[in-house]
Structure 1
């Protein structure tokens, strides 16, 4: 078994494309080599500022010999079928074998050298690589993200000879553009390749570059009694900008600390790729920054730090201008501008959207313990900063800047916080607001989005979700659960759809579709949290069985799921589920013959088994206990009531034959099983549960 080493060396690859490129290289190489019949022990890819690297250990020297029999059409099939089979196999009719009226093809071929397969695969990978953007250079036809300089291809220490559009493969690579040896160097295997690269100031692995950045940035900060402001997204990006990253601490003009810290940090991050710095134990930022250079400067980075400080000052001066000018304008002028901004052609302007969110926030407020007037006021201010100069320059600060401007305008803290946080939570890792006014506005903002796009039939399809409706639904769910808000979402959504319909659209809004959408999102969320999605189905479907509609109280659904999961984890729960499924199968079989018998279960019948009588009394007692527990929303007590059915159900199925030859006995026993199923279905639709 041998090792394959491949490097595609080019001009600078954009940092944002490097992780995807490493994944694509792994996928494309794996697909092509497996298709040729090759296997291996380990495959790893690396992406950096100027190179994509692939190393595969445990490759055989050649693909295996192929001996395969393919079944073809019948000998009586039309001529076209036989012709197609011959084209597929590359054989002639006299080379086929006839057996039992069917044509068979015997395909045999010798294995191919792995180097030959690799050469073809690399050519195909390079020509079909899915870069988001690519370019052509020189006189060739090849496209790549940036001009390719060389291709290193080694198998078991020897060069795999091939060329791609005039670029000849070899055993040579090179180190850092400025700090390396200045000359390309040859390697024989991956261990030497990696070691020589590092001696020439290139860290091949992105994880190593991130670690060097993080440790170096923290060290230069600690040397001045400062602390780094961690930013994982920026760390990922910067690790793709430098082959030998070297953090340097720079100084910032302290006057810019008068700006909101989010403005300073975002300006550093977006425009300059700098890390922000803070003083330990203090709020806000320190007048410093960390820049990651791609060289180890002879002066310790002083000149680099000074030059970057000048650039940062220019950027922050622009931000300071927007901050000052925005305070001269205010919310009334901004909201007026929203009348001329279209939210969606079928859903009106942003100003109309604000009116809807305000009305909805006022309705939701009492349900989450918020002041309705404050919720409405926060909603009316929530989108105004979209027309501000600062958000025009930094769209990422929408909401955040609105919160600052609301405080400067004298709005109550609850209102300003709601304006700041009403977009939250924006993703699974985002924090969930719990302040009542914020919850009301955040929920209203997301529900308006969901109801609106569902009403105009712009629902997500497959993997496509252009309006981020799945994220909005998950945000509503997390808000409701965090606040333990007892909100009937379908009722709120239906009322909001009536408001939305006034002059904007004419389609009928089906709240059941949105309700099902929430249930699906809840299942995904609970499943990711370790819960069983089939338990969500069992709970959601229960109310449909008993009342003809699904439950849309998310807090209650989650509590019932938790209680059901705990119950099924016990022996009583697992055995009762088995008994339920047995009863359900019997009843389902009988339902195919005709309607099931209805009415009260009789006791005291002649020759009635004691187990039948015991189950009848147990089912009646369980029904009363379950109803009381569900009314009190004591779901643990409901499960305890069901647990008392376990022994009588087991005994019944052991001692009693349901399909008795005596019609009266059979009818009574079917009634009894129907009663047991009905009692259990009040707690959950056990038919939805796997197992």
Structure 2
């Protein structure tokens, strides 16, 4: 079956856009072909800095013929209706239509419309220009006198279609003066002359000969393997960097791996600073000495040229730039250490955290105060927690972090260690930002935990106080990430914190600054409302987190619905025990019995216009089954109170399972809606006792399935 080859040749496409552009081209073209009835066997997109290409395999030579029956008006319908039918069906006269009989509706006209399939090449010539003109680049430009917008000036379009063994045809179309052909070019400097190609294998082979590796994954493999080999030959190890590998792969069409060096004196700088400097400024990889575990004074660069001098001039040029950048980094490092962290703290008085929340200095003071409150609850020394909280943000004002913001926290740890601060304080300087994403680790050291929680909770309470909550997909202050960070820290460390009191206490003491000459007053009770709303937000985040980890979010709802549920670790323990119980036969049967009781109560309460609340009257328990159920409920309540107080949730579920048999027996033997009104009310109260007993564990009304 025929194959399609498409190449869009342009000036350099930014590396960050290439992978997405290839996926987008494949999807847009294949979707358009399928929508036109052209199914295919496979498709693969290619991208280099100067070309975006697509190969679609196993296309048919033409669209399938279509036969459609179009129903028309009844026989004898007015002329106007017949004329409209003839026009829509493309018939010259009504004699060309067939008559079909319907036993109920009578005779009516049918037009058989046959549509011949178009050649695939003709459809491609229609599809590709539309894709090019509407291609969704994140940023695009217009050049010359045309109206086409493309990421960079588009120079040529290659488009061929044909079966293997045949001479493929050039699919002819034109976009803004650029006519599709079978001509492309190789490497800008190593093989710039134009040449013709036929199909995919021919295109790839000729590009390879013209110093272009078209397959992005193959370029990455070449870079990675050659870099590892070069490092190994020098007795070193490559520090792998997937993000950098993706980027440099998008900068070269013919990767050539070279090694450079810098002076050993720069190794006094922390490894992370050296790596950030070399990575950010020259897109080079760093190497590690396996004997010391630290960086070596070598780096790997990726050239796009096969130089006649073996790359010596290229290496020398990169070494000059890296030497200058490392000199700057060393100056920043030495300056920061000479001045110390404490000297920077007064500057926070003049830096605004948020217009409505005051300065960074005020925020740091709040975090320090909250950290001392949290510290005893997480096993941390309050003095060290306060010291760490007061100094943790100081590295934001250092020269190194100013140059490389991604090193915030880490540099704080280095500076704190250099100044002889306690190890716990130095660690908290780095770890209080964690976790910063789903793949990031959570802090485990008590002081780091206290400061990390204080930092995130202060952020959340503050933005709730000024009503700057996330809405829809908008979350400019990363409040969802902050809440998820709190959740992960609590659950992964098994912490027992009462979040409501922390939220309310901090919200109550929050002093909002004067804004544009006006003081902002908060209404009485606002702190309590904000704390409750924030806890509800945490419930939603917890559901998302647990669902991503395979848990049932309805069980989170069921447990969170009970009053006073703000201990997240206890809540998850309770939820897991409940999930296991509901998977058992006892759990499934009791849930069915509960639902039956709850359904009857809802109906009767609505009918009577009042709620039926226990306790029941022992004198009105007439049947043996209701007596046994009442006794079982009393026993279960007693056991539940003891097991829940001891946080023995497995024991609580065992106690709850004792209700299964009495509930089943009750519904089999007892008529709830007895004719005697007093008896009926007592039995309805007994059903409420079932509801009350189960709510010691969770709100069973919220359990699905």
Q: Do residues 614 (structure 1) and 624 (structure 2) align?
A: no
Note the C-alpha offset of 1:227. Answer: 1.2
Count of residue pairs the alignment pairs up: 666
- Deviations 1:455-502, CA, capped at 9 Å, x for gaps: 111111111111111111111111122232211222212222233234
Note the C-alpha offset of 1:244. Answer: 3.0
Contact 1:360 1:444 in 2 (8 A): yes
Q: Which runs of 5+ in 2 are unaligned?
A: 73-80, 95-103, 163-167, 515-519
Match of 2:535 in 1: 515
Match of 1:62 in 2: 63
Match of 2:159 in 1: 153
Note the C-alpha offset of 1:655. Answer: 4.3
For residues 685 and 408 of structure 2, what CA distance do their matches in structure 1 show?
62
For residues 226 and 559 of structure 1, what CA distance do their matches in structure 2 show?
48
Which deviates more from structure 2 when the two are superposed, residues 445-454 or residues 493-502? 493-502
SS at match of 1:683: coil
Alignment of 1:285-300 (within 5 A): 285-297=295-307
SS at match of 2:696: helix
Alignment of 1:449-488 (within 5 A): 449-488=459-498
Match of 1:174 in 2: 185
Match of 1:273 in 2: 283
Match of 2:136 in 1: 130
Note the C-alpha offset of 1:575. Answer: 2.9
Match of 2:17 in 1: 17
Contact 2:358 2:512 in 1 (8 A): no
Match of 2:672 in 1: 658
For residues 448 and 536 of structure 1, what CA distance do their matches in structure 2 show?
25
Contact 2:605 2:612 in 1 (8 A): no
Match of 1:598 in 2: 613
Residues 483 and 175 of structure 1: CA distance in aligned 2, closer, same or farther (over 3 Å):
same
- Deviations 1:237-269, CA, capped at 9 Å, x for gaps: 222122233332322211111001110010111
Q: Do residues 574 (structure 1) and 574 (structure 2) align?
A: no
Match of 2:256 in 1: 246
For residues 393 and 444 of structure 1, what CA distance do their matches in structure 2 show?
27
- Deviations 1:4-39, CA, capped at 9 Å, x for gaps: 332212111111111222333244335544554554
- Deviations 1:61-111, CA, capped at 9 Å, x for gaps: 22764859799xxxxxxxxxx9xx99xx9999x99xxx99xxx99996835
- Deviations 1:506-545, CA, capped at 9 Å, x for gaps: 454411221111111111111111212222112111x1xx
- Deviations 1:151-210, CA, capped at 9 Å, x for gaps: 122333432211110111122333333445x43343333344344434444333333222
Residues 45 and 627 of structure 1: CA distance in aligned 2, closer, same or farther (over 3 Å):
farther
1:528 pairs, out of 536, 548, 561, with 548
Contact 2:13 2:50 in 1 (8 A): yes
SS at match of 1:682: coil
For residues 322 and 282 of structure 2, what CA distance do their matches in structure 1 show?
7
For residues 387 and 70 of structure 1, what CA distance do their matches in structure 2 show?
77
Match of 2:98 in 1: none
Alignment of 1:254-269 (within 5 A): 254-269=264-279
SS at match of 1:486: coil
Alignment of 1:194-213 (within 5 A): 194-213=204-223
Q: Do residues 648 (structure 1) and 631 (structure 2) align?
A: no
Note the C-alpha offset of 1:377. Answer: 1.6
2:507 pairs, out of 472, 480, 497, with 497
For residues 254 and 34 of structure 2, what CA distance do their matches in structure 1 show?
35
Note the C-alpha offset of 1:602. Answer: 5.2
2:149 pairs, out of 132, 143, 146, with 143
Match of 2:575 in 1: 561
For residues 592 and 210 of structure 1, what CA distance do their matches in structure 2 show?
68
Q: Do residues 381 (structure 1) and 391 (structure 2) align?
A: yes
Q: Do residues 412 (structure 1) and 412 (structure 2) align?
A: no
Match of 2:686 in 1: 672
TM-score, normalized by length of structure 1? 0.88
Contact 1:63 1:113 in 2 (8 A): no
Contact 1:615 1:652 in 2 (8 A): yes
For residues 434 and 402 of structure 1, what CA distance do their matches in structure 2 show?
18
Residues 502 and 465 of structure 1: CA distance in aligned 2, closer, same or farther (over 3 Å):
closer
Q: Which runs of 5+ in 1 are unaligned?
A: 72-81
